[in-house]
Amino acid sequence: MDRRKFLLASAAAAMAGLPAGCAALRKHGAGRMPLACCGLDCGKCEVLQATLKGDREAKARLASSKVWADAARQHWGKQSLAAEDMTCYGCQSDRGPLFLSCRACPIRKCCKGRGLANCGKCVEWRTCAKLARHFKENPEARENLLGMEAKREG
């Protein structure tokens, strides 16, 4: 999405009362969210969906779920999560809060540091040790990056 389209979508979002950038992200790629740096589909993330909808009940439900509570203890050193912790505007967002895992993500930091939209744009993505670990738990992320690569070549 070029700068002009982003600014126009952001202005429309502001007039509609949405956080700046949300509408631009939502409209990217014919209604699809851009891929996260690592290849995950941000549009499928329950935290992002709850944030975009302003659904505090969904955020509270997610915060108290076993899956997220276990992740908070294992990965982020938190004993519990609050509804406020369940806020994210997507990995590609430079505005607004990012979810705990996105904020601390070494893959995102590397990708952003290289000025790339996602790892699929990196010539080293297929041999990256960080991505190899990530793909073990999230094979769909690798498939998304492969699909993106195939579209570029096709």
Q: Per-residue pLDDT tens for 121-149?
A: 999 999 999 999 999 999 999 999 999 87
- Residue 114's pLDDT band (boundaries 50, 70, 90)? very high
Q: Per-residue pLDDT tens for 78-93?
A: 899 999 999 988 888 8
> Contact 3/10 with Cβ under 8 angstroms?
no
Q: 32: which DSSP letter?
A: P
> Contact 81/63 with Cβ under 8 angstroms?
yes
The residues, ordered by sequence, that sit 6+ positions from 120 with a Cβ below 8 Å of its Cβ are 35, 39, 144, 145, 148, 149
- Range picked from 5-14, 16-25, 70-79 for highest mean pLDDT: 70-79
